[in-house]
Amino acid sequence: MFKLTEAAAEQVRRSAEQGNNQGLALRLAAQKRPDGSIDYRMGFDQKREEDIALNSQGIEVVMAPEYVPLLHEATLDYVEMEPGKFHFIFLNPQDANYSPPDQE
């Protein structure tokens, strides 16, 4: 199932506080592009009756059922891409552009 790293969960909490979105779930969406890569979307939203919901690192995550197959084994991380510049990234083996992180 989909999961967040500890760093991603902490940044989601900070973002929720800064945007006054406490109490809302993190909504995810994904769409496969023609080249096999995946386009990801995320934001804060209310849980809907038809949603699939899970909890990862204390964060409530929701998604519409049609996105579950594309996000099933994915991980959301928050990493420093270059000095002082942090970004959310999706690590998803189903994405054609996925390359596993170096295991040190």
Tokens encoding 83: 């000095």
Q: What is the mean pLDDT of residues 89-95?
A: 93
Domain encompassing residue 71? 3-91
- DSSP character at residue 96: T
C-alpha–C-alpha distance, residues 20 and 23, integer Å: 9
Domains contained in the chain, number = 1
Kindly report the CATH number assigned to the domain that includes residue 36. Answer: 2.60.300.12
The 10s digit of each residue's pLDDT in 4-41 is 999 999 999 999 999 999 999 999 999 999 998 999 99
CB 40 within 8 A of CB 28: yes
Q: For residue 103, what pLDDT is reported?
A: 55
Q: Is 11 part of a structural domain of the chain?
A: yes
Q: Is the pLDDT assigned to residue 101 strictly greater than 90?
A: no
The 10s digit of each residue's pLDDT in 61-88 is 999 999 999 999 999 999 998 999 999 9
DSSP E strand stretches across the chain: 3-4, 25-32, 38-45, 52-56, 59-63, 75-82, 85-91
Q: Is 20 part of a structural domain of the chain?
A: yes
